[in-house]
Structure 1
């Protein structure tokens, strides 16, 4: 399977959603319609030169399935966020490099489902796509969405959400949770945390145990608290799906060590400097040298002029996922690979540092 590459797309529209968030719509040429086909919940990686630096950031698609010729993402400005601030200045007619859809926080359309969606802030973007696509593509399915924000002015996609409420009056339930604004329904005031979920469940406003799947998207503390509370409410782990945008300072990454092949056992002592790393990409092989005391595979590849796939560079998005076919490596952080992927030899190039003198990474592996 070919590694996804960037395509230059024209911006068809830019719409203000809140004082610090915009929805950016890209025009998809007919010849790229299959390339940019997506599953609700996936993201696009944008690439641009910002302040003289090549930068990439991932933003979830908020478009529903069936919106031919267009893909929309929501971008919220974050404190000291150079790319998110740059995105607020984009306008129709501008062109920007975009990678085809990726991601595993997805909902396949077909059948009948009862979904519970928990979103906070800009975490609404993939949830909007999932909700709209499920409701339009599955005539008997239901969706319950709890959307947490500070106050009314920070609610993204308010009009789109209200439109879904009006169109699917018996199948879509939307509740706003505010922690800096008093609402008429007292139970909806405060944070969307474990106590809130337990209270809502006790009052029969949500029924997590009955949901076919629960999608959670937002800050890591909210995801952790929600996952713990939902497990206590009887939700099996395999029904919980989450998308992490930014890890918390005290986050707990998933397993990080990995290795495969005859050199799987790390060499004695510290990580070896000057490891030989062979990259398999689009069927071709390239050799780079990685000093594990100074670089990850990604930073070393960039330093040596090799463009390997990457997006967040923080161990969260899996764009740089590859498989170790020889040698061994450890990851600085891992927020996205599942235990079965670790066991199968997959690693994240943006976090990997060789622990053997030779390391072979296959980016074409699926």
Structure 2
């Protein structure tokens, strides 16, 4: 089960006017707990103005190789979000030596280093997990190549510019970089403008052999990710080869399904080897019901994006308001997001330990 541990901030590096990279020192006794796969994320927790605030940020540092030493430090990228309490705190108040509660790594937007050609389409802070994926792959697999297509507003707003340039210098034959700026003309390269479905449909076949890519990684705002997926599907790419992680989902996004709720429901939940059964109050999510009785239940964003509250639906039926974290094969296998799930039967049973 994922757990929080206090980790000291070892470095706060300003990487653009509105973003920082936070480095956490991992003590020796916790290093195996924080061993991660490239592409995973960390949930950070702090009490800010008396409130428990949690946010999920992707790890940008490379992952250790098989059998390699567990990481002594972990680095995440944080971009300022309008009205974002945690991101504002991170940019303006966090300092070296401060302690932050950090949950052990989670997430399935990952790549185990394997031979072949891989590609990513990212926007803005979506570069963060893909930087870890590309750096880990190229370091551990000399028979692998990576093509990164990234979209940013301007060069000044581009996160991890130096780190990506370093990959290009170290692996000139195996790392391909394509940069598109939406609000600034470049002296060389592609014209400015958004990377939408139509543009990607033309661009991707011109940049690489689409049918030879072993895995696609799409990360960033919802519009970019959805447009890239539709472009790839239109080019004949199998859904199984497309991996997505969405940042910045519109709060008004419609629900996934609508199933009438029963008048009275209970949820039985197994968590960290212990179970319990509790009544679901009118209108609350299954996660909120569990949290009233088990405050240690895992969650972060409560927006259907991070996947921290993923649970296996043992019995009963639920409706999910939104789902931007689980892959189709996960939902088909019976997994749900507890933060977005409401009971559709009188009895529902969840297992957070699977």
- Answer yes or no: same fold by TM over 0.5: yes
Distance of aligned partners of 1:289 and 1:250 in 2 relative to their CA distance in 1, 3 Å threshold = closer
Q: How far off its partner does 1:198 sit?
A: 2.8
- Deviation digits for residues 52-94 of structure 1 (CA, Å, limit 9, x no counterpart): 1111111000001248301100000011111111111211101
| Paired position in structure 1 for 2:18 | 20
What is the aligned counterpart of 1:70 among 61, 73, 88? 73
| Paired position in structure 2 for 1:45 | 43
| Aligned 8 A contact 1:256 1:334 in 2 | no
Secondary structure (helix, strand or coil) at the match of 2:104 reads strand
| Paired position in structure 2 for 1:96 | 100
TM-score normalised according to structure 1 size = 0.89
What is the aligned counterpart of 2:58 among 57, 60, 64? 60
Distance of aligned partners of 1:239 and 1:256 in 2 relative to their CA distance in 1, 3 Å threshold = farther
| Paired position in structure 2 for 1:307 | 296
Determine if the alignment matches structure 1 residue 358 to structure 2 residue 353: no
Determine if the alignment matches structure 1 residue 149 to structure 2 residue 152: yes
Distance of aligned partners of 1:197 and 1:143 in 2 relative to their CA distance in 1, 3 Å threshold = same
Q: How far off its partner does 1:301 sit?
A: 3.0
Identify unmatched segments of 5+ residues in structure 1: 258-269
Worse overlay, 238-247 or 323-332: 323-332
What is the aligned counterpart of 1:220 among 219, 222, 225? 222
Distance of aligned partners of 1:341 and 1:213 in 2 relative to their CA distance in 1, 3 Å threshold = closer
- Deviation digits for residues 236-260 of structure 1 (CA, Å, limit 9, x no counterpart): 2211111112224564665687xxx
Q: How far off its partner does 1:355 sit?
A: 2.4
Distance of aligned partners of 1:343 and 1:178 in 2 relative to their CA distance in 1, 3 Å threshold = closer
| Aligned 8 A contact 2:42 2:103 in 1 | yes
Worse overlay, 230-239 or 18-27: 230-239
Secondary structure (helix, strand or coil) at the match of 2:128 reads helix
- Deviation digits for residues 112-141 of structure 1 (CA, Å, limit 9, x no counterpart): 121111111000000100111111111121
- Deviation digits for residues 18-44 of structure 1 (CA, Å, limit 9, x no counterpart): 011000011111111111111101100
| Aligned 8 A contact 1:255 1:339 in 2 | no
Determine if the alignment matches structure 1 residue 271 to structure 2 residue 275: no
Measure, in 2, the Cα distance between the counterparts of 1:8 and 1:328.
Answer: 37
Secondary structure (helix, strand or coil) at the match of 1:187 reads coil
Q: How far off its partner does 1:327 sit?
A: 2.6
Identify unmatched segments of 5+ residues in structure 2: 65-69
What is the aligned counterpart of 1:108 among 112, 115, 119? 112
Measure, in 2, the Cα distance between the counterparts of 1:131 and 1:188.
Answer: 25
Measure, in 2, the Cα distance between the counterparts of 1:256 and 1:30.
Answer: 48
Q: How far off its partner does 1:175 sit?
A: 1.9
Measure, in 2, the Cα distance between the counterparts of 1:354 and 1:101.
Answer: 29
Secondary structure (helix, strand or coil) at the match of 2:208 reads coil
Q: How far off its partner does 1:47 sit?
A: 0.8
| Paired position in structure 2 for 1:262 | none
What is the aligned counterpart of 1:244 among 246, 249, 264? 246
Distance of aligned partners of 1:239 and 1:305 in 2 relative to their CA distance in 1, 3 Å threshold = closer
Determine if the alignment matches structure 1 residue 281 to structure 2 residue 285: no
Q: How far off its partner does 1:330 sit?
A: 1.6
Measure, in 2, the Cα distance between the counterparts of 1:185 and 1:195.
Answer: 22
| Aligned 8 A contact 2:318 2:345 in 1 | yes
What is the aligned counterpart of 2:327 among 318, 326, 338? 338
What is the aligned counterpart of 2:186 among 183, 186, 189? 183
| Aligned 8 A contact 1:278 1:361 in 2 | yes
| Aligned 8 A contact 1:273 1:290 in 2 | no
Measure, in 2, the Cα distance between the counterparts of 1:41 and 1:167.
Answer: 21
| Aligned 8 A contact 1:221 1:248 in 2 | no
| Aligned 8 A contact 1:194 1:226 in 2 | yes
- Deviation digits for residues 253-301 of structure 1 (CA, Å, limit 9, x no counterpart): 65687xxxxxxxxxxxx5234422222111111232212x321112233
Q: How far off its partner does 1:173 sit?
A: 1.3
